[in-house]
Amino acid sequence: MADKRNSIAGKVATPNLKPSAASSKETIDADSILYKAVGSRIKITCAPGKNVLEGTLFTACNITHAIAINTASAPPNPSASVFTQPGDYHIIPFAHIESFEVIGTGERAPESTGAYDGALPSISKVDMAAILAREEQTIREMKKKDAQKGKGVSQEAQELFDAISRTLPTRWADTQIVVSDSVLIQAPYTLDSIKAPADKAQAEKHVRKIVEHYYQRKKGGSSGGAARAQVAIPNAPRKGG
């Protein structure tokens, strides 16, 4: 085991990070020393300024085109688990790596083949199904939010729509506001613009109350309310008359 560690620790490599003919992005080969050094202690020289960092290589990622290195000091007890090692992580783009040296293999899972397979702490597989589901949910929410914005309508019409949609299911149909799929409010969005079938009279009455309340609040807010009468405060009597 000691011979194996010495042979790895003695290797110094300048990674080939130039774009290949098949890709315009910087990548590293899965067989490269840098990729296989995940979980090991390395010393790395970075541009600009030839800054030198030493620590545990946490990952080498071809998606972000960067490595993550934990430069926190190794546990004082060599037999201590890396799970107890503190974290001080640095993200370094491949393009900034000038050279690196593997100075220790670190702790690995038994009979591991190198790289991520044996790295400790173990690197969990990304749950792509959960990520895609979250992405689809976000897209649905964005589409729903966009559908709540009227196209070619005034700000006042949008504010009225928002006020109604807080309590009732509301959608736009061109420039018309449709409430509960039964009541229609057309421009100029006044009480006289509210229409509904005869059998939806109760729904129409409810919508009228909301619209009326909206305009009452808007009128009260714009007028600022009635001015309060000033109260005269008598002056305190002066001494000596």
Neighbour count for residue 110 (Cβ, 10 Å): 5
Judging by beta carbons within 10 Å of its beta carbon (0-12, 13-18, 19+), is residue 186 exposed, middle or buried?
Answer: middle
> What are the pLDDT digits (tens) for 141-166?
999 889 899 999 999 999 999 999 99
Pairing of β 183-185 and β 176-179: antiparallel
Written as one letter, the residue type at 219 is K
Lookup result for tokens 């300048």? 14
Q: What is the DSSP string of 100-116?
A: EEEEE---B-TT--SGG
Q: What is the pLDDT of residue 172?
A: 94
* Average per-residue pLDDT for the chain: 77
Q: What is the pLDDT of residue 225?
A: 47
- Across the beta sheet with 12-13, the strand order is 12-13, 97-104, 41-46, 51-61, 66-70, 89-93
Q: How confident is the model at residue 64 (pLDDT cuts 50, 70, 90)?
A: confident
Residue 19: pLDDT over 80: no
Residue 216: pLDDT over 80: yes
Residue 60: pLDDT over 90: no
Asked whether 167 and 159 are in contact (CB, 8 A), the reply is no
Mean pLDDT, residues 102-108: 72
pTM, to two decimals: 0.43
Domains of the chain: 24-103 (2.30.30.100), 126-218 (no CATH)
Q: What is the pLDDT of residue 25?
A: 39
